[in-house]
Structure 1
Amino acid sequence: MAIMKARTRTQARLADYLMLGNLTLACPLSRVREALDKHGRHSRRRRGLPHEVLVYYVICLCLYRETAYEEVLHIVIEGLRRVYGDQIRDVAVTKGAISSARVRVGADVFETLYRSQVQPVGPVRMAGCWYRGLRIMGLVACTLDMHNAPDNAAYFGYPDATPGTPAFPQLRFCALAECGTHILLGARLGPHGTSERALAGEVLEAATGEMIVIADCGFTDFALWRRAQANGARLLFRACDSHVFLAHESLPDDSYLSKIYESPEARLRDDGIVVRVIEYRLDTDGRTHRLMTNWLDAGEAPAEELIALYHRRLPIEVAIAEMKTLLSDGMVLRSKKAELVRQEFYALLIAHAVIRKLMTRTAEEAGRECKELSFTHTIHILRQLLPHKVTPPETQRGVSEFGG
């Protein structure tokens, strides 16, 4: 485990409490308590660390990974008291007590909070967020390393490695990334051996009729396609080079209608799903690339626009890099139990979304795009801006201090 840098209580910065303000605006205390009640995990004892405080604490650990555990707890308690007053009481606990409380709360509370609170936020007028009235979403998949503990290894497993090469256990996850803001929605995780397509099928259930979902060729599967369009989402996937399309009808923009089939037998019966295929070449490689979409009307979505839109998806990979930026100590999830790894994973997604929402609001107010702002620099500002040593006075309370 990484050595945490200690910081005295009098060194807590005003920016730390501003971060707590943004966190409580993104995840209000009432919603935290609802999630705890839903899973029967609310605090049963008056003594010890209240579970609602613990939820914010675990999220803040993702934002302050180089700060002593005790100091992060102090920041959380004092920051929450500024917002919620006497609803939050003082508490002094040991690391062992914190670990026990995390086990009692579990991961389901954090997953519920993540799914209810992390939603698309891209403003209609912000470039890169919308295409013809639809939110631009990208399907992403990745792996994350974790602490090399026996329980983690037994549940999540290791990636393939050459004999004698040490490796960390890994989880695999898939999510929808809002292209304009990088917020990760509908995430699903599993052991390293889980198929990306299996996770993607669950993730795409979060796609709605107000979205166009862009994906690479690894996700061009009949069952996945059928599942993805069930909720009315527009789809724009790159087709595998080996996929065979027969042109059934040519369209004015040089795209054509074809079908995809579940099996060779279904192809013989002509029992398939109609798709629109767009073929094009790039000057950079000279190869023919093919996109497939369920947006069949070439007049509504011209081929040139969809080609440009597909290549706009590339920056969404930055969202994965941003999550790893938050994992500053070697990019490893530090929990030692599989259940707490899941808990930390959803807390990390919430923390990432809090920062991204703040950046989106800042960019919108300045009339700029989110991509013009630096994620790393935003974290630096949140931690270092207004370096006044403060201990929040009991008399100064209220959400208004944090812009709410």
Structure 2
Amino acid sequence: NIRTQNARAVLIDAYKALSQIREGIVVPLNPPSIPGLGTTGGTEMWIQSKGDATIAQFAAVVNDFVARAKQRPELTGVTNTFNADSQQLLVDVDRDKAETLGVPVEDVYSAMQTMFGSLYVSQFNRSSRLWQVILQAEPSYRLKPDDLEQIFVRSSNGSMVPLKSVVTSRYVTGPDLITRFNNFPAVKITANAAPGYASGQVISTLEELATQMPSEYGIAWSGEAFEAKQSGGTSGLVFVFGLIMVFLILAAQYEKWSLPFGVLMAVPFALFGALLAILLRGLNNDVYFQIGLTMLVALAAKNAILIFEFAVLNREAGKSVFDATMTAAEERLRPIVMTSLAFILGCVPLAIATGASANSRHSIGTGVIGGMLGATAIAVFFIPMFFYVLETMSEKSAKKKDKKAGDVPPSSGPGAAPSEPKV
């Protein structure tokens, strides 16, 4: 069943099953929706330590932030991979005793690195391949802390000194991994939007929670959240430029500056229908809905153009402004309704989509359907009125210009013949 086997349901079931593992913590995560932008799906934020706080203080701030984030209804799946209490083996080197035995301290560290870690020595060619020489103890000899007793270090007089004579070991707690972001010690926080909330609200909520942290801590964004912050507010510019392009194209087509305004007056009705549709359905004003709004500029203008085009042709045929307007409205009502219904029915699958990317399709489909209903059911009654008002005003303005031109004396015009002298 697609409703029970979607990504969210699979993650929940996987989390329940993997939470039974006692040897470690397994957190199932979605991949990023855009490959390469981040390592996991959701909103990625980094908490940065910009002061001189210790790891314990940093961990306390991070844990407090995560606890407060989990209480917010806008967020879900708030996680971080920082663990400041992992078990570690700390080896202390007795420098005074090493000096007494003639063992250089650097040799002690070098021996532990070589046997318990690895050390690159050199490389050689064999069988047309390049091989690396790496020193390292066998796995069976570097599994337990007691294996330190099997290591010997050469002293300055050439004798072999057991490593256990100059080092002691003990278990402590500390972070298993310290990451840095923008050169600051940082911890990555991942959060997802709860049902009914958008990614923009997630970012706003995390920023609000960040204001409650101490002043020596800051936040930074990465992945899709960083791109969203960088490009925030550009959808409004796209919408405005869309209106400008439609206006310029119509002005060139009609060779008038007034009629394009009447065509664009149909756009607010489409916006009203789109906003009402997502409000009734409980959706958010996300980026996908804003893409649908940009598309509605052309769709709403289409209905107005159908009426304006025929009204202009009727005016050129000699009809009055009122008759040309009413005739165009009557003749183009059926094509407007038919084309609008065809487009609305074509968007229904988007509005009721299920499966992957269903939420984005809901936003686009619902917004376009609501906008087309508003542009068809409401704007179609106002578009003829817009044409009538604009054309009437244009004619009155033209008559005033003609009247002013007719009142100018012929002698004062350019190129007029000189008047004869009076006797």
**Coarse TM-score class (shorter-chain normalised):** under 0.3
Q: Structure 1-normalised TM-score?
A: 0.22
Which one has more relative contact order, counting CA pairs under 8 Å at least 6 apart?
1
Q: Is the helix fraction higher in 1 or 2? A: 2
